[in-house]
Chain A
Amino acid sequence: DAMVIQNPRYQVTQFGKPVTLSCSQTLNHNVMYWYQQKSSQAPKLLFHYYDKDFNNEADTPDNFQSRRPNTSFCFLDIRSPGLGDAAMYLCATSSLAGERDEQFFGPGTRLTVL
């Protein structure tokens, strides 16, 4: 089945130690998103790629970076994780094809910062 895959599902890192989260998709969607979701809150968009065009949200800290080497893969790099970065990180994709603008979410990576 076509889907959005995130690895790892759980990631533990130390304060200040860089970490990379990965997302892959078999849907061939041109848009990929990274969200941060903290407990009992809505997903907060960090940035998205429309094909190779990177779009950063104004309030996304510089500590968060992203790479999209090809259509299928997208990475979230957290350069120096702080305790406040502990959260669920969700990857999503969309084709933005006319009336079908739904986003398909991956299962998420839960990040713990020690």
Chain B
Amino acid sequence: GQQVMQIPQYQHVQEGEDFTTYCNSSTTLSNIQWYKQRPGGHPVFLIQLVKSGEVKKQKRLTFQFGEAKKNSSLHITATQTTDVGTYFCASMGNYGGSQGNLIFGKGTKLSVKP
């Protein structure tokens, strides 16, 4: 079945350093979504990428979707303590009976040292 691999599993950075998490799939993805889950919280939608090579920015966050639509990345510039949490990529299932289902990566847990 469709799988989304996400690395790294953990990332510890000093405040002000940059952070990147990567998602990869062996199959072409219809889209990629990114969610953030704060400690003790629930996943919150950040963005959806649909088009090949798409790049979207939200303030210090930059999201990319690969040309082949098999990989994606989330880059945070100059991390702040408010960026702490687990970042999940997720892709919509594209096989019968599973349309609308999200296949989640395992997540990257970001910790930021002040």
**A interface with B by C-beta (< 8 Å):** 31, 33, 40-43, 45, 48, 50, 55, 90, 92, 94, 96, 99-108
Contact = CB atoms under 8 A, between A and B. Distances in A.
B75 interface: no
A103 B105 contact: no
Contact of A55 (B41, B97, B105, B106): B97
Interface residues of B, number: 22
Contact of B100 (A50, A99, A100, A104): A50
A107 B43 CA distance: 9
Contacts of B31: 101
Contact of B42 (A31, A33, A40, A107): A107
Contacts of B105: 42
Nearest to B31: A101
Say what secondary structure dominates the interface of chain B: loop
Contacts of A103: 33, 43, 45, 102
Contacts of A45: 101-102
15 contacts: A33-B101, A41-B107, A42-B104, A42-B106, A43-B104, A45-B101, A48-B100, A55-B97, A55-B98, A94-B100, A96-B99, A101-B100, A102-B48, A103-B45, A103-B102
- Which residue, of A42, A43, A107, has the highest number of chain B Cβ atoms within 10 A? A42
Interface in B76-102: 88, 92, 97-102
Nearest to A45: B101
Contact of B43 (A41, A55, A99, A105): A105
Interface string B31-69: 101000000011111001010000000000000000000
